[in-house]
Amino acid sequence: GDSVTQMEGPVTLSEEAFLTINCTYTATGYPSLFWYVQYPGEGLQLLLKATKADDKGSNKGFEATYRKETTSFHLEKGSVQVSDSAVYFCALTQASRKLTFGKGITLSVRP
């Protein structure tokens, strides 16, 4: 079945550092890919998405490119802020309509 693998966490960075969170997937067909973010005490919210190969999703300074050849959707940000501290989930969906999530990774940004 479909699956999403995220790098192990947690990740701790200093403010203004460069961020990369790795995500790879296994799926038949052509899934849509998502990054969701969960701030403390809240539900998940969509950060960005890409629906086909080579698409780049972007939002709030975060970017991720749908790489079919490497089955990856790595999340990047050039300069993180304390307010980016949260849990980040990579996910995919296909015709089944279900979102398949990775385990999530906790990011802590210190001032």
Partner 1 sequence: DAGVIQSPRHEVTEMGQEVTLRCKPISGHDYLFWYRQTMMRGLELLIYFNNNVPIDDSGMPEDRFSAKMPNASFSTLKIQPSEPRDSAVYFCASSRTGGGTQYFGPGTRLTVT
| Coil vs helix vs strand at 105 | strand
Minimum distance, C-beta of residue 92 to partner 1, in the bound complex (Å) = 10
* Closer Cβ to partner 1, 1 or 111, answer by number: 1
Measured from the CB atom, is 3 or 79 closer to partner 1?
3
Q: How far is the CB of 53 from partner 1 (least distance, A)?
A: 16
Q: How far is the CB of 4 from partner 1 (least distance, A)?
A: 10
Q: Which residues bind partner 1 (CB under 8 A)?
A: 32, 34, 36, 41-46, 49, 89, 93-99, 101, 103-104
Q: How far is the CB of 72 from partner 1 (least distance, A)?
A: 20
Task: Give the SS3 label for residue 46.
Answer: strand
93 in Cβ contact with 48 (< 8 Å)? no
Q: Which is nearer to partner 1, 65 or 93 (CB)?
A: 93
Measure the CA–CA gap between 56 and 45, rounded to whole angstroms.
Answer: 18
The sign one gets for the Cα dihedral 95, 7, 75, 89 is positive
Residues near 61 by Cβ (< 8 Å), separated by ≥ 6?
77, 78, 79
